[in-house]
Each structure stands twice: as C-alpha cells, then as structure tokens.
Amino acid sequence: MTGSATEPYAHAVKAKHLDNGLVKFPVNVHGIYIERSETTGYTRIIATQNDTTLSFVLDDDDCRHLATLLLNGAVVARESADRG
C-alpha cells in the first residue's frame, strides 16, 4: 500500500503498525521498535535496517520530548498540506 497524493512522499510504502513499533518493507527492511523496562523505568527505541541495529535508551523526559517533536511535526505537515 502506498501513500496518498496529498502526502509528502506519495509513493512511499506505508508502514505496518505493530504493538511495539512500525516496520516497512522493500527495498530495505526498516523497523522502529519501542521496549519499556518495568524494572528500570527506561525505554529503548530500536531502529533497524537490514542487519544494522541502533538502540537508544531514553528516560521519561526524553520520551516526552520525542513525542512533542513527533506531534508538532504532524501538525506542521498538515498545515503545509492545507496551504498547498
């Protein structure tokens, strides 16, 4: 499934939503996963592409900051589409 003509990347393959993240297939296998540790309270964001894995350990403040960036980015993208 590809995006709609109104999206910035209209021909991009849509991400599949998982309980713990997102994945995209062809050409490379991309994935973003979230793991929350009940014992430490930390959250890990894991990004994968093919055999490469990057892992970031975040505290609650980092998670809030990232959520704000993501949500504000969505608002900016919608506002740009409305103007275009």
Interval 25-54: pLDDT, tens? 765 678 999 999 989 889 999 999 888 999
Q: Any idea of the CA torsion for 11, 15, 16, 18, to the nearest 10 degrees?
A: -170
pLDDT at 5 over 80: no
The predicted pLDDT at position 79 comes to 58
The rounded distance, in Å, linking the Cα atoms of 61 and 8 is 30
Residues of the chain with pLDDT > 70: what percent?
68
* pTM of the entire predicted model: 0.64
More confident residue, 15 or 40: 40
pLDDT at 12 over 80: no
